[in-house]
């Protein structure tokens, strides 16, 4: 009897009030920081639909990616707030696929996004390398960015479009 060949399915879903609970659950487990109610309300903004996603692996929700818009004068930037995948599902290109999705959508977005940037805790070398592989560059260090976790400093990584 032949066994079914396993082709892992990766899919993305937009955020809704109905799957917000899953987003909360993922964030509480993946990140050392607790996010506010405002954060969870903001990511439901329809304007951000393309940039806030749930990541599914074989139809199980395993990761999230959330961005927001920031205006700097007459420029619009994309700030990557959170991106993470549950531990057992890492190293399977899920992170890359999510990031690539965002980057692709951002590059053709109507409001001419200038750049995308994010913070990475200075102890997280592997994360920094991950973003550098995707064309991000370190542009500086934000001292004491984290109040409650140590080390408190964070790199600022950027990628222009």
Residues identified as active-site: 79, 119
**Which part of the chain contacts another protein (CB under 8 A), choosing from 82-90, 95-103, 105-113, 129-137?**
82-90
Q: How far is the CB of 108 from another protein (least distance, A)?
A: 26
Which stretches does DSSP call E strand in 15-112?
Answer: 52-57, 60-72, 75-85
Contact in structure between 78 and 51 (CB atoms under 8 Å) = yes
Q: Which one, of 15, 13, 27, 91, lies nearest residue 55 by Cα?
A: 13
User: Considering the complex, what minimum distance in angstroms separates the CB of residue 77 from another protein?
Assistant: 15
Residue 17 to residue 34: CA distance in whole angstroms: 19
144 binds another protein (CB under 8 A): no
Q: For 29, phi and psi rounded to 5 degrees?
A: -90, -40
User: What is residue 135's three-state secondary structure?
Assistant: coil
Which of 65, 81, 106, 120 is in the footprint of another protein by CB under 8 A? 81
- For 109, which DSSP code? -
Site for another protein in 13-72 (CB under 8 A): 16-22, 24-26, 29, 33-40, 57-62
Q: Does 112 bind another protein (CB under 8 A)?
A: no
Summarize as ranges the residues that interact with another protein (CB under 8 A).
1-4, 6, 8, 16-22, 24-26, 29, 33-40, 57-62, 81, 86, 88-89, 145-148
């Amino acid at each position: 009897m032949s066994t079914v060949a396993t082709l892992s399915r990766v899919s993305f879903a937009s955020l809704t009030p109905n799957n917000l609970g899953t987003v909360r659950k993922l964030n509480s487990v993946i990140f050392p920081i607790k996010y506010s109610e405002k954060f969870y309300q903001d990511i439901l903004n329809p304007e951000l639909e393309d940039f806030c996603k749930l990541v599914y692996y074989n139809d199980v929700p395993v990761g999230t990616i959330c961005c927001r818009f920031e205006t700097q004068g007459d420029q619009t930037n994309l700030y990557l707030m959170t991106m993470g995948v549950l531990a057992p599902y890492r190293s399977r290109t899920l992170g890359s696929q999510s990031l690539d999705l965002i980057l692709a959508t951002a590059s053709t977005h109507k409001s001419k996004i200038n750049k995308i940037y994010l913070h990475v805790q200075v102890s997280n070398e592997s994360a920094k390398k991950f973003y550098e592989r995707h064309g991000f560059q370190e542009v500086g260090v934000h001292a004491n960015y984290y109040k409650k976790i140590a080390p408190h400093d964070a790199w600022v990584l950027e990628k222009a479009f």
